[in-house]
Structure 1
Amino acid sequence: MLDDAEIKNVLVVTAHPDDIDFGGAGTVAKLVDAGADVVYCLVTDGDAGGFDRKLDNGGMAAARRAEQMAAARCVGVEDIRFLGYRDGMVEQSLDLRRDIARVIRQVRPDLVLASTPERNYARLGPSHPDHRAVGGATLDAVYPDARNPYAFPELLADEGLEAWIVREVWLMGTMTPDRYVDVTATVDRKIEALRAHESQTAHMDNLDEFVRSWLATNAAAAGLPEGRFAEAFQAVATA
């Protein structure tokens, strides 16, 4: 498993704006504070999400892109890439694998964060079909696509993108976490990032309490002292 000091470049791949902020913004802030370069890759613009019926899909997409950019600034991330797939209609396709493999070869990350491709039967929220499709496509893009120069040869021939080996993947929303990150020092910035997603969280009067309770439960599962907060992942080594 990667030591913290080995994590220099990080790519986060999620289906929707706000997925990373619910699942791992505290960890992202901690990585950025430690000197890592973090890039976000969002497969959709979140055009099918939100509660404002006055916005059409195009208006919602623009609003959610802006919210994600504001949320990213809260945790120190500036490089955000949108792939433009339709929210609610994502499939684990060859096209999606190629598009994610392209970003992996561009960013050349040591670590990738993504949603788990498995259904979470304890908590259905992480099991949105887009989450599972993006999680599965990301794992396929990590292995074998991004590392194999013969996979999607146009990435090398037409775009000059050499193969790249991602060393580790951390999956969010898993039922079987084995990697806990103490985010006590960054939990306030995580909540600030979540509040930036006004279309998704403005109605949540108890957002602060909800997030702290959830992360305190993770910290207890990790054996951390009372008063600490943690985010939970399943770590997948790629070697």
Structure 2
Amino acid sequence: MRTDVERALVVTAHPDDVDFGAAGTVAAWTAAGIEVTYCICTSGDAGGYDNTPRAAMGPLREAEQRAAAAAVGVRDVRFLRYPDGRLTPSIELRRDISREIRRVRPHRVLTQSPEIYWSRLGVSHPDHRAAGEAALAAVYPDARNPFAHPELLADEGLEAWTVGELWVMGAPDERIDHAVDVTDTFDRKIAALREHRSQTSHMDDLESRLRGMTRRWAQRFDFPGNRLAEAFQVITIG
């Protein structure tokens, strides 16, 4: 793992995705002084479990995500506002994520897996896979190539930027090669998820379920005692 990371960009499909998959890790990063920015591709307007009017759902979930981000030390949250449930890894999405990479100039990007995780299919929502595929293309080759999306440089003055490290959450088990101890930040992860009231207020077992999952990852990576962990596929990019 790189030890010189100062800035990180998180790219996900929906509000709450990062909090289910990596909020403990993000809290550890911000506590270590890493500046983290969120780029959320949709506003989650197709989500929810109650009678909230559809027109109100997107703004509500954006507000929830900002509050959840604050719970783990993230202040910069950006929404691309693509339609929820219809996300594709289009050239336009690749361009828009490349824009955020060039703006933020992160040393590390965290995103979702573009692969199908057959044993936990809920992780592989089509929007998740689309966000992951587009983010991967933005990391390599788009954002680093000054001739890709030339309008970003010509019209917006955004110079090419090379990301050195890609972290993938929700990857199939055989891809997972790194775990982060989140024992000390687990409570902040739960606090972040509780801010997503439109998505989690009906989950009476939320904390116990996530505690069990993070404990299993810690055991798989031979962490001592009753530690908790979040796990990722990490790719170093030359």
The residue aligned with 2:50 is 52
Q: Match of 2:170, as an amino acid?
A: G
Residue 93 of structure 1 deviates from its aligned partner by 0.3
User: Which of 74, 97, 101 pairs up with 2:71?
Assistant: 74
Q: Deviations over 1:6-65 (max 9, x none)?
A: 111000000000000000000000000000000000000000001112x22221111101
The residue aligned with 1:90 is 87
The CA distance in 2 between the partners of 1:58 and 1:64, in whole Å, is: 11
The residue aligned with 1:18 is 16
TM-score (norm 2): 0.98
The residue aligned with 1:132 is 129
Paired residues, number: 236
The CA distance in 1 between the partners of 2:82 and 2:96, in whole Å, is: 11
Q: Deviations over 1:61-97 (max 9, x none)?
A: 1110111011011001010000010000001100000
The residue aligned with 1:152 is 149
The residue aligned with 1:170 is 167
Q: Deviations over 1:145-197 (max 9, x none)?
A: 00000000110011000000000110000112101000111000000101110
Percent identity between the aligned chains?
57
5+ long unaligned stretches in structure 1: none
The CA distance in 2 between the partners of 1:9 and 1:214, in whole Å, is: 28
Secondary structure in 2 aligned to 1:51? coil
The residue aligned with 1:2 is 2
Which aligned pairs between 1:199-214 and structure 2 lie closer than 5 A? 199-214=198-213
Secondary structure in 2 aligned to 1:160? coil
TM-score (norm 1): 0.97
The CA distance in 2 between the partners of 1:202 and 1:174, in whole Å, is: 26
5+ long unaligned stretches in structure 2: none
